[in-house]
């Protein structure tokens, strides 16, 4: 059985970007994480120890977002995906989307998003 645990719109103020101004002034970033796993036993027994603790996952994402400045949201999305797959073997597949608002592209847009999809062992 495959189930999905989703973290949606986790918001952070951070200092990522290719331009020096972005890394100095910072901006709003959001992340979505879809973790494919089997939580049927956890649900049957109402047992947090048998599933993915999304509180711990959020703390891990928050740490990655703030520990270093990255030029690319692609890098951040990849690091989040790889880290969760390594820390949580019960996650068999993951999709991570990182969004950046207030992007200096010389036009109007809502945000830019990078998505990484990986399977455990790849």
Integer Cα distance of 13 and 62 in angstroms: 10
Structural tokens at position 58: 């959020």
pTM equals: 0.92
Q: By mean pLDDT, which of 51-55, 66-70, 118-122 is the weakest?
A: 118-122
How much is the pLDDT for 122?
Answer: 55
Please give the positions annotated as active site.
100
What domains does the chain contain, in order, with CATH numbers? 3-119 (3.30.1130.10)
How much is the pLDDT for 103?
Answer: 77
User: Region 99-120: what's the mean pLDDT?
Assistant: 87
CB-CB contact of 59 with 10 (8 Å): no
Residue 33 banded pLDDT, cuts 50, 70, 90: very high
Q: By mean pLDDT, which of 7-21, 35-49, 64-78 is the weakest?
A: 7-21
């Amino acid at each position: 059985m495959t189930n999905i645990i989703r973290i949606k719109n986790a918001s952070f103020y951070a200092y990522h970007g290719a331009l020096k101004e972005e890394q100095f002034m910072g901006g709003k970033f959001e992340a979505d994480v879809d973790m494919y796993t089997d939580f049927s036993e956890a649900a049957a027994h109402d047992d947090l120890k048998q599933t993915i603790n999304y509180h711990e996952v959020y703390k891990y994402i928050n740490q990655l977002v703030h520990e270093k400045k990255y030029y690319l949201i692609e890098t951040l999305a990849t690091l989040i995906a790889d880290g969760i797959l390594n820390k949580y073997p019960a996650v068999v597949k993951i999709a991570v989307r990182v969004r950046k608002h207030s992007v200096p592209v010389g036009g109007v847009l809502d945000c830019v998003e990078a998505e990484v999809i990986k399977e455990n062992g790849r």
